[in-house]
Structure 1
Amino acid sequence: MRKNIIQMAKGKRQKGKIFKYKCVIISAVFITAAISPSSQAVSISSNAGTSSAQFLKLEMGGRHAAMGGTYAAYGHDVFTLWGQPAALAVAPSAWQIGFQHTEWFQGVSQEYAGITSELGAKGRVGLVVNTVAVDNLLRTTENANGQLAAVGGTFASRDIGISLHYGVKMNEYLSVGGAIRYITSELDNVKADAVAGDIGVRMDVRDIEGLTIGLAVTNLGTGLKYLNQRNDLPWAIRGGGAYRIPKLNLLLAADVVKFADRDVDAGAGAEWSPIEMLKLRAGYRTQGRDVGEGLTAGVGFNFSGLELDYAYVPFGPLGESHRISAGYLFGGGRASDSELFSSPETNSVVRTKESSRNVSSNVTEPRTSRTPQPIRDRLEIK
């Protein structure tokens, strides 16, 4: 498998195998990490390495990475909508922007930028650009003995995804969203492109206060065509739940996901806010890793609408990744929805349903016995 990942060949016959070379350059970072070559107990999926554009699998934002790669049922910033378009429907401000930089291992870097805006009374629209690049890859070929040999020179690989998102709140409990994405991939001098779509839904559970569930189907598209060979995109079906405990300033989340080229994976995470501006996070994800390699951790800070998040994600012998993301909500508010929200007018934190009655006479009840508000622990200012 490793040979298929890194080998570059000459001639017309070998050009037809461009996808295999592509698969391993990006797959060496993502698929190989996911199936954990260091774990001898792992059973590698028979579909491993059969799809292209592996960067589409990655969760965005330091928050989600630190919480075990979960995001199906919580979060509503520019990072969440990459894999759950329904998140856009409940964004807490009219405008928000976000940026992420990731230093992966083996010379792979990633840049992500997004912006969202209101569109009509209930809808919101978002635009995202996501790029992954690998530079200075050694050019090799297979010799007569079946071994890899350097032929001199280096080459680069670059993937770009540009997507347009739309989310709408159907009622106070249900949100839906969709996205259309253009994908372009370049390996050395060979280019390919594809078009894909996402669809997602989220629902606050009426009978269980604090519980939200979510489902998303992503990367359904045409596939990337390298020369004369078309290869499928890594479509995914993701479902999960998030449970908020306001009295403890605690968020718990868990996701299950099935990728086209991999067996079912799972992740879980927690976020705790000891003080209003600070969030501590930890999580665990499976994906065939040894126990220690599945652990994730991170921290987040909030300053008047500015969110700064960091995540540490180990990948065993392949190395480790550090993700830094930043988002800003114009007009205040918070990108995170796990903590209890404060009212800009009163600058007071609403900690329980009972205490909210004393915050301000201008603040409406967050919930009533007849008409519960969506489980966001946010107040609406009249």
Structure 2
Amino acid sequence: MMRILLLSILILSGIMRLSFAAAGTAGAQFLKISPSAKPSALGETATLTAGAQSITYNPAGISTVNNIDLSLSQVTWIQGLNYSNVAAAKRNGKHVFGFAFNYLSSPSIDKFDNNGVNLGETYSAADMALTIGYGRKISSRTRIGSTVKYISSRLESQTASALATDAGIQHTVIKETLDLGMVVQNMGTSMKFISASDPLPLTVKIGGKYNIPIKPSNNNTGMTFSKSATTENSFSLFSDVNYTIDTGVFANLGAEFLIDYDKSAFALRGGYRTNVGSGISFGMGWTGGMYCIDYAFAPLGELGQTHRISLGVRFDNAAKNKKL
């Protein structure tokens, strides 16, 4: 399967070279906002995201769903903007199908004339994306996925829409230790407001995850560890290299410390994004049985601060999946 991975790298490299020739301003910028708390806390290192939320990041990740997976995310964005995401995935034999709905809304905005005089009127803007995804495991180590999505933007009475697709792959190089992945996002038609037409923010991501198991032992404190702690406690490093049609190449880094106790797990996360003025992010997560909750805080320099919270439900009783 490594040959498949290498072939994918060559294909994505070709797409990247073609995209450089078309570099410029892209429309539908909300597609670049990370909605889910876990990858956002990890510096937006999202290529190896798993579960229903991966429909937005790398559709290959939905192939990890064992039965039914639901995810709800809410983002308090800068300038009073709110971003919501709902995602679900369902396994049917070897195939996993899913959908996601993203919606960005703005508060009322005052109208001004050409001289800067307030007209006493307001207008609003909103963006949405409806995505249908598919994923499957083509081997015990390799996962693939793709999506089709409808994108719509509204600015007062003007609207624009587009169709796009994503395609991704994830591959386990060393079981429970090293994973690699890649995804191409937003390949599709242009967004057109009145006479102005802008391409979608075509994005290419290549990323990796390195997991370091922590094997606790007795120490001077007299503490002992459960069997589950011995097998599940870990420290993981994440990295993504990204290219977007309008901002060029940048990197994301993340780290997670997972503490497992019996059927629950608690995670501390941190990350760094090289494409923004204040790139530090951090967060935490808790998983208990079929439920999980994640939080992320990510400042954007002088623009303000962002907060994300995600809730998840997994109807598969797969406690081992919590470390994903």
Instruction: Check whether TM > 0.5.
Output: yes
Deviation at 1:274, TM superposition (A): 2.7
- Checking the alignment, whether the CA contact within 8 Å between 2:213 and 2:235 is kept in structure 1 is yes
Q: Distance in 2 between matches of 1:79 and 1:164?
A: 12
- 8 A Cα contact 1:61 1:100, kept in partner: yes
Distance 1:140 1:210 in 2: 56
**Whole-angstrom distance in 2 between the partners of 1:209 and 1:196:** 33
- Letter aligned with residue 201 of structure 1: I
Q: Compute the TM-score of the two structures, normalised by the length of structure 2.
A: 0.83
Deviation string 1:280-339 (CA, Å, 9 cap, x unpaired) is 1111111042xxx21110010111111100000001111100100011001322596537
SS at match of 2:85: strand
Structure 2: runs of 5 or more not aligned? 1-19, 215-232
Structure 1, residues 202-243: CA drift from partner, whole Å, max 9, x if none?
Answer: 11115x861100010000111111122221110100010001
Does the 8 Å CA contact 2:136/2:144 hold for their aligned counterparts? yes
Paired residue type of 1:99: L
Partner of 1:58: 33
- The aligned residue for residue 68 of structure 1 is 43
User: What residue is the counterpart of 1:326 in the other structure?
Assistant: 311
Residues 281 and 116 of structure 1: CA distance in aligned 2, closer, same or farther (over 3 Å): same
Would the aligned equivalents of 1:112 and 1:130 in 2 still touch at CA under 8 Å? Answer: yes
1:135 aligns with 2:107: yes
Go from structure 1 to structure 2 and tell me whether the alpha carbon gap of 1:194 and 1:179 turns closer, same or farther (over 3 Å shift). same
Distance (Å, rounded) in 2 between the aligned partners of 1:48 and 1:109: 28
Aligned-partner Cα distance in 2 for 1:335–1:59: 26
Partner secondary structure for residue 52 of structure 1:
coil
In the aligned structure 1, how far is the partner of 2:103 from the partner of 2:188?
A: 18
State the partner residue of 2:88: 115
CA offset at residue 151 of structure 1? 2.5
Could you tell me the percent identity over the aligned residues?
29
The 5 A counterparts of 1:337-352 are 338=323
SS in 1 for 2:132: strand
Relative to structure 1, is the Cα distance of residues 172 and 275 closer, same or farther in structure 2, using a 3 angstrom cutoff? closer
Matched-pair contact (CA < 8 Å) for 1:250–1:271: yes
- Residue-pair matches, total: 284
How far 1:275 sits from its partner (Å)?
Answer: 3.4
Q: Is the 8 A contact 1:296 1:312 kept in 2?
A: yes
* Equivalent-residue separation in structure 2 for 1:243 and 1:336 (angstroms): 17
Write the distance in 2 (CA, Å) between the matches of 1:48 and 1:138: 32
Superposed CA deviations along residues 36-88 of structure 1, whole A, max 9, x for unmatched, are: xxxxxxxxx9x997111111112231110000000112x31222221201101
Partner of 2:225: none
- 1:187-226 equivalences under 5 Å are 187-206=155-174, 210-226=177-193
Unaligned runs of 5+ in 1: 1-44, 340-382
- Name the aligned partner's letter for residue 51 of structure 1: A
In structure 2, relative to structure 1, the CA distance for the partners of 1:102 and 1:197 (3 Å cut) is same
Equivalent residue number for residue 159 of structure 1:
127
Q: Deviations over 1:91-111 (max 9, x none)?
A: 2x2001110111112110011
Q: 2-side partners of 1:55 and 1:115: how far apart?
A: 20
| Matches of 1:217 and 1:149, distance apart in 2 | 44
On the 8 A contact 2:35/2:308 being kept in 1, the answer is: no
Cα separation, partners in 2 of 1:284 and 1:334, compared to 1, 3 Å: farther
The alignment status of 1:317 with 2:302, answered yes or no, reads: yes
Find out whether 1:80 has 2:54 as its counterpart: yes
From the CA coordinates, give the structure whose radius of gyration is larger.
1
In angstroms, what is the RMSD of aligned CA positions?
2.1
1:244 matches 2:216:
no
In 2, the alpha carbon distance for the partners of 1:211 and 1:69 equals 18
- The yes-or-no answer on 1:286 pairing with 2:258 is no
Q: Secondary structure at the match of 1:86?
A: helix
SS of 2:286's partner is: strand
Q: Which has the higher strand share?
A: 2
Report if aligned partners of 1:271, 1:338 keep a CA contact under 8 Å in 2. Answer: no
Distance 1:186 1:112, change over 3 A: same
Question: In 2 relative to 1, CA 308–209 (structure 1 residues): closer, same or farther, beyond 3 Å?
Answer: closer
Q: Secondary structure at the match of 2:302?
A: helix
Q: What letter corresponds to residue 152 of structure 2 in structure 1?
A: T
Distance in structure 2 (CA, Å) of the matches to 1:334 and 1:94: 13
Q: Equivalents in 1 of 2:201, 2:73: separation in Å?
A: 22
Question: 1:237 corresponds to which letter in structure 2?
Answer: V
Moved over 3 A (4+): 334-339
CA distance in 1, matches of 2:234, 2:276: 32
- Residues 79, 214 of structure 1: CA spacing in aligned structure 2 closer, same or farther, 3 A cutoff? same
